[in-house]
Structure 1
């Protein structure tokens, strides 16, 4: 999310002639944090440990139900922020606020995109309901 919002800020900073340093810094920091997160979790991602049946089916089903509404709220919030800033920021100050506004909207839309991806994974992962059966079959094949 920091990478996307930083890239948006860096790109939009050139329009009013501002420095893109903040956006570049956010992009570099976001990339470093994402890489560090991957490195810290690489052991859990590629383990040879035996899988366990899913135990959080109610939370997944709740997530499937509420994720589309959360996405709508985030996208509508981003649009309202743009509209409110267009109404309340004086035209003289708007060019200076444009890159920060773009960074905020980029951040919110990347959150919405991440939620949409997670929601799609949860929907296609309905197999988890039968995870105990799948786990038993996997054990029998070993």
Structure 2
């Protein structure tokens, strides 16, 4: 019997909850990618203003990030507000194995972002001059925004077993729990 057969037979209990977590994560990333652009370029624009440089490029790119984020949000609006239960995860065992890796991936991402900023500052001929600092802020903000997104996805997958029954309860598809 394959995992797909197990799920069809209802043997894998977390498959539905993990499917819910995957759907929530996909909906989240649909707008978060654009938000990451907006955050990173806003950091570049703010640092440019603080250092007396022209912030035009940062503001234009931040606006583009906001537009991309809005488009991503709109494209997933139907899924976001759907009352239809998500499809059970056909890769539930793989997802369960990956859940404990999220904290390590987030920690590694923070370390790699910091290392990248330091290396860019060291190898750049200008070092940390006023012209380079906005770019370093852009790199740091982009890396940390993506890391935040990874942390959110990890949280959704880790807590999918608790989130899914509450989602069903709010839609009247599950009897209210008797525990406080």
Q: Quickly name the TM-score band, shorter chain normalised.
A: 0.7 to 0.9
Alignment counterpart, residue 42 of structure 1, candidates 66, 77, 99 = 77
| Correspondences of 1:46-125 after superposition (within 5 Å) | 46-49=81-84, 51-52=85-86, 54-55=88-89, 56-91=91-126, 94-125=129-160
Structure 2 residues without counterparts, runs of 5 or longer? 1-35, 176-180
CA 1:58–1:129 in 2, change beyond 3 Å: closer, same or farther?
farther
Separation of aligned partners in 2, 1:103 and 1:125: 33
Structure 1 residues without counterparts, runs of 5 or longer? none
TM-score when scaled to structure 2? Answer: 0.64
Separation of aligned partners in 1, 2:108 and 2:79: 33
Separation of aligned partners in 2, 1:122 and 1:93: 39
CA 1:53–1:91 in 2, change beyond 3 Å: closer, same or farther?
closer
Separation of aligned partners in 2, 1:11 and 1:52: 41
TM-score when scaled to structure 1? Answer: 0.78
Q: As a proportion of its length, which structure holds more helix?
A: 1
Aligned length: 134
Separation of aligned partners in 1, 2:119 and 2:137: 13
RMSD value, Cα:
2.8
Q: Deviations over 1:94-142 (max 9, x none)?
A: 2211111110110000001111111111111135899xxx9xxx489xx
